[in-house]
Amino acid sequence: MITSTDLKERIKEKARELGFVLAGVTTPEPPPHFSTFEHWLAQGQHGTMAYLADERSRTRRADPREILPECKSILVLATPYMSPSPGGRGARGEGEARIASYAWGADYHDVLPARMKELVQFIEEQAGGPIRNRYYTDTGPILERDLAQRAGIGWIGKNTCLINPKQGSYFLLSEILLDLALEPDLPMVTDHCGTCTRCITACPTQCILPNRTLDAKRCISYLTIELKDDIPTDLRPLISNWAFGCDVCQMVCPWNRFAVEGDPAFGTQNPSRSLTEELEITPQEFNQRFKRTPIQRAKRRGYLRNVAVALGNTAGWHALPVLNKALEDPEPMVREHAKWAVEEIKKRNGL
C-alpha cells in the first residue's frame, strides 16, 4: 500500500514533469496574513478592484474550507516564466514598448488549468478513486502567496512577490485544494530580504509599502492593466515606456540572479514592439495579435492608452504625426492620452 509520504513525492514528481518546477503542500487552515489583507482593503489600497472586497470573496479568502469544505490539503505549485534579467534581457530601446515578462507569450489562465487537471487525474489514479478538488491560478478567492509561503515554496519579499532562495521570483502560482490528506511541508519562516531595499528604492512610483504590501493605485502594473479609467496625470510621467505591466521591482532583486529558464509556453524572448506602430493598431489587428495572451486583458483602448503615455514619456517630435492621428481615434480614452502625449513631447522639445 502506498504511504502518504510516497504519494506526495509521486505527486511532486508528476508536477515537475508538467512544468511546475516547485511544489509544496500545506493545510487548509486560515492564511496567517489575512488581517494584513483586511487592513489593506480598509485603507483602499486595492483601488478599483472591487471584487477583492466582495463579502463572499473575503469570507473565502479567510478560510479555504469555505471553498471546499472537504479540503484536507492544498497543493501549491509554481511555474517559471522568462526573466528579463540577467544580462539585460528585456531592455527596450528608444521608441519601443516594454511588456512585463509574464506576458511575452500565452495567457497562463489558458495554459495552467489544463496542466492542473492532468495532475488531479494523476492524483486520483494514484489514490485509487475520485477526489473532490478545486484548482486555481490567480482565479480563485485565496491568498496565494500566504499559502505558498506556508507550503515552503518561498517567502513574501518586501516587493510583495514570492521569492524562492534558489530560483528567484519569476513564477506563476497555482493551487489545488484536495479532499486528500497529505503531509504538509515545512513553511519558509526565514526572511531572506534582510536589510536590502533595492525594490523599494527602484520602484518608479514608490508604491511599495513598509508592511510587504503595495498601494495598487500607484503600481504601474495596476495602472496599465487593472485600471479601466484614465491614468492619473501625476503618475503618467513615472510610467516611462511600460505599455503593459512592470518588472522593475523584480529586475533589481538580488535573488533573481538565480532565476531559472522560463516555461516556453509563456514566451522565450521579449517581443520588440514599436510604440508608434502599436498606436496605429486597429481593433481587428489587436484581437488577432493578442488573442489568448495577457495583453488582451487590457483591451485595445487600455493598451493604446498605455502606448500613448509611453510615447509621451519617451518619444521625440517624430511621434507627433501618429499621435495627432490618434486624436481622431473612436475611443475617448485613447484620444485623451494621445492629447497629453502630444503636449508632453512639445514641451520636451521646445515645440
Q: pLDDT value at position 63?
A: 96
Task: Based on the residue annotation, tell me whether 329 is a catalytic residue of this protein.
Answer: no
Sole residue written with cell 519562516:
189
Please name the helix (run of DSSP H) or strand (run of DSSP E) that holds residue 151, with its range, or none: none
Distance CA 171, CA 149 (A): 13
Catalytic residue selected from 54, 110, 138, 229: 138
CA-based radius of gyration for the chain: 21
Q: In what order do the strands lie in the sheet with 133-136?
A: 22-26, 73-80, 171-178, 133-136
Q: Any idea where the domains of the chain sit in the sequence?
A: 1-272, 274-351
Hey, is 235 helix, strand or coil? coil
Q: Which fold has domain 274-351?
A: Leucine-rich Repeat Variant (1.25.10)
- Give me 281's grid cell: 493598431
Nearest CA among 317, 240, 236, 333 for reference residue 276: 317
Q: Residues 204, 210, 213, 216: is their CA dihedral positive or negative?
A: negative
Q: pLDDT value at position 10?
A: 97
Distance CA 310, CA 306 (A): 6
Per-block average pLDDT, block size 10, for the chain (351 residues)? 84 98 97 95 96 93 97 98 62 76 96 98 96 95 97 98 97 98 96 97 97 97 98 98 97 95 90 92 96 96 98 94 98 98 93 74
Sole residue written with cell 514592439:
273
Q: Are 178 and 123 in contact (CB under 8 A)?
A: yes
Q: pLDDT value at position 89?
A: 38
Q: Are 169 and 163 in contact (CB under 8 A)?
A: yes
Dihedral angle computed from the Cα positions of residues 173, 179, 182 and 184, in that order, rounded to the nearest 10 degrees: 50
Report the residue count for the chain: 351
Q: Is the peptide bond before 210 cis (omega within 30 degrees of 0)?
A: no
Q: pLDDT value at position 1?
A: 60
Task: Provide the H-helix boundaries in the chain.
Answer: 4-17, 34-42, 55-62, 108-127, 144-150, 198-202, 220-221, 248-251, 275-279, 283-290, 299-314, 320-326, 332-349
Query: Taking the model in full, what pTM does it have?
Result: 0.94
Q: pLDDT value at position 91?
A: 43
Contacts of 13 (CB under 8 A, 6+ apart): none
